[in-house]
Structure 1
């Protein structure tokens, strides 16, 4: 969540139609204050991103279907006749085709930097790294090339390989003037907001496979913003699943990332949130002890916190008392969605015109375009070496 605001929220972009800051002012969401306020007002910031994403998806669908207003009849990509009476499979098939069209036309703009291309470039770096290690002689502490030249420094050796043998260690960048930076901003925001929504739903459903898949994209985002601790945690999560733990332990680790505190489908929460809730409960019990607080009383409070909470909830259920905080009133944001949608359509955010840009994001690049793959590869290689001896 904080990553999205760091990337797409700039307090100087009030005049840039379609940016998060301008849309926040349009809706008068005074409780949304950017990356610094995410921790203290997470729900408000999350709800704002969700509303923006819904409006962006609606605007993208309207553009594909040739509609200027929500009440217009589609001119292109029309739904089959009487689709409302069709079977669920037929409705799902048409919606899937529409979603795929949205992804291809409005989200996946930088074809030369898709995940498959990143994986191919990383594989090439792996092969180059393995070849370089074979050329290193630990006795002489020198790198010996196939042309018999020797180098003590890895940097000079790589320079020789690039100049004399046409090796590649860097990826050429695209000239920003050849792209539509407003479209890049829109596509990049939708990629990351969709990733946030999918991760949130994966934790709610306790879907270990989706959680694991999304951590790979999240690690790339953490690398772009320099969040080393998050990057390390996400990498170790993958390392435990794929290499370090036994198959049985890996499955347990993968499918026990969440916990259900109230039962039912879709009510899971991440384990770290569960720990935080338990810590808050223990702090509350200790605070209630006042001057009678001791180490032993704190220990008893920690061990009995869950039991006391269950007894309280059972008692409330028996006397038919509504538990405060158990349910939240759902806010109707349809009017806000309509305002955002009108703003996006008026600004032509879903057009593609080479040379357009936002003043506050004049040099904007897609998040996955900014991945420094050689640097990330070197960092992962170092972590692999550490993991071989430190992690267990």
Structure 2
């Protein structure tokens, strides 16, 4: 479409950008004599900044006389690559601390053990380095979990429990056995109890023990006590028979690690497989964690995306929004990548070409490079192939990370990450619990959803929905 000399930080420039995009909307008013004809709605995606500025530009045109003057033909949406980057921030908030270098089993200790010095406390500074560390860290925790679940001493030993019993009479299936054991592991160490969104306090009665109170403040303090001692606090008896309640911060860290890292891996796999329905389903979980992790902007954008698929858009447009979330140039399974990442690749190629014009960048050069970018890239790749010139493809290839994963697994051997041992502490995570969602106040969360849905329903570009 060409590169515009506009800055999306400014309202006037963003309006010009949206108007430029609008010329690609079918049946806009310049194409038909009937000015009242409804344009066919088209989805327009980007990162959070583009998403937010796009909505502001359309809202500023709400008083236009025709649908096209109101820019109703464009529907803003949020893309997946920048959501991946934001999810890394969530993981860093709960698992990363520079004061945990001596706490073996933590993310920062793993970073030091693997000498991943390009990873910092701000994962967005080097997204791929942070992603690579997270992949190794997740694999190490899963391998350690498998060793614990099957009673293995090391990766080369044989299982001592939960072994596969090959019984010809019962027609045992190895696949079903693996899935069953994986489900058991997930139920024991990953799944957690989440408060129901439909819970409402009708009276001053505790929803945990049904004790009645006179003052709402007393009821709130009492329920906070129940939440604090709900799951991650286990009872144990002393020699005198006295029962005490204590926590295991190391076990809590393990539970939080598996929960966050497996959600990330599931989202990444859903993108690679082009499974739009699974991506949208995962956003329901992301929404909860964004609210408790200090990410209000992405929580708001995620909620709007969910509302778009459920009620704001027509069934046809919601289907497009769900399943048109990635691109695939190889035509093979498990090779999809997000649309906004594809745009980032095009931007990189454009910057490389436009800066080769001796530093003189004019609108004429911008137009020429933007329109010939794909063709020149194909010519250069073909020339390099014929001339047998080695040129990096720029694609991310899978590396063998087995050695780094085994280094971390070796460190985890004596920690008993999957055993509950009362009283264990993490010096850098004194307040960590096994479920970050315990801090989510469901009553306030429900009120926030109601307010946001009211705002969404007033956006003029969501109507009519019959397209």
The bucket for the TM-score relative to the shorter chain is 0.7 to 0.9
> How much does 1:27 deviate?
2.4
* Mapping for residues 18-37 of structure 1, pairs under 5 Å: 18-34=105-121, 36=122
Q: Look up the match of 1:14.
A: 101
Find 2:431's aligned residue among 363, 369, 373. 363
> How much does 1:168 deviate?
12
Q: Considering Cα pairs closer than 8 Å and 6+ residues apart, tell me whether 1 or 2 has the greater RCO.
A: 1
Find 1:335's aligned residue among 379, 403, 413. 403
Q: Distance in 1 between matches of 2:379 and 2:301?
A: 36
Find 2:367's aligned residue among 287, 290, 299. 299
Shift in CA distance, 74/10, structure 1 to aligned 2, threshold 3 Å:
same
Shift in CA distance, 15/90, structure 1 to aligned 2, threshold 3 Å:
same
> How much does 1:331 deviate?
3.1
Q: Look up the match of 1:143.
A: none
Q: Secondary structure at the match of 2:337?
A: strand
Q: Look up the match of 1:380.
A: 449
CA contact (8 A) 1:66 1:76 kept: yes
Q: Does 1:208 align with 2:283?
A: no
Find 1:106's aligned residue among 163, 176, 189. 189
Q: Look up the match of 1:239.
A: 307
CA contact (8 A) 1:169 1:374 kept: no
Shift in CA distance, 300/68, structure 1 to aligned 2, threshold 3 Å:
same
Q: Hey, which of these two has a bigger chunk of helix by percent?
A: 1
Q: Does 1:97 align with 2:176?
A: no
Q: Distance in 1 between matches of 2:259 and 2:221?
A: 29
> How much does 1:296 deviate?
3.1
Shift in CA distance, 262/311, structure 1 to aligned 2, threshold 3 Å:
farther
Q: Distance in 1 between matches of 2:420 and 2:114?
A: 26
The more displaced of 92-101 and 316-325 is: 316-325
Q: Does 1:223 align with 2:287?
A: no
Q: Distance in 1 between matches of 2:227 and 2:409?
A: 33
CA contact (8 A) 1:170 1:374 kept: no
Q: Distance in 2 between matches of 1:40 and 1:314?
A: 34
* Mapping for residues 43-62 of structure 1, pairs under 5 Å: 43-62=128-147
> How much does 1:71 deviate?
2.5
Structure 1 gap segments, 5+ residues each:
133-158
The more displaced of 255-264 and 321-330 is: 321-330
What is the RMSD of the two structures over their aligned residues, measured on CA atoms? 3.1
Q: Distance in 1 between matches of 2:222 and 2:333?
A: 48
In the TM superposition, what whole-angstrom CA distance separates every residue of 1:113-150 from its partner, at most 9, and x where no partner exists? 23xxx3x2x1124xx7xx99xxxxxxxxxxxxxxxxxx
Structure 2 gap segments, 5+ residues each:
1-87, 204-212, 234-244, 463-467
In the TM superposition, what whole-angstrom CA distance separates every residue of 1:298-326 from its partner, at most 9, and x where no partner exists? 13322332333344344545666555125
* Mapping for residues 268-279 of structure 1, pairs under 5 Å: 268-279=336-347
CA contact (8 A) 1:8 1:189 kept: yes
Q: Distance in 2 between matches of 1:372 and 1:313?
A: 55
TM-score of the pair, normalised by structure 2? 0.67
Q: Look up the match of 2:357.
A: 289
Q: Distance in 1 between matches of 2:414 and 2:359?
A: 62
> How much does 1:278 deviate?
1.9
* Mapping for residues 65-80 of structure 1, pairs under 5 Å: 65-80=150-165
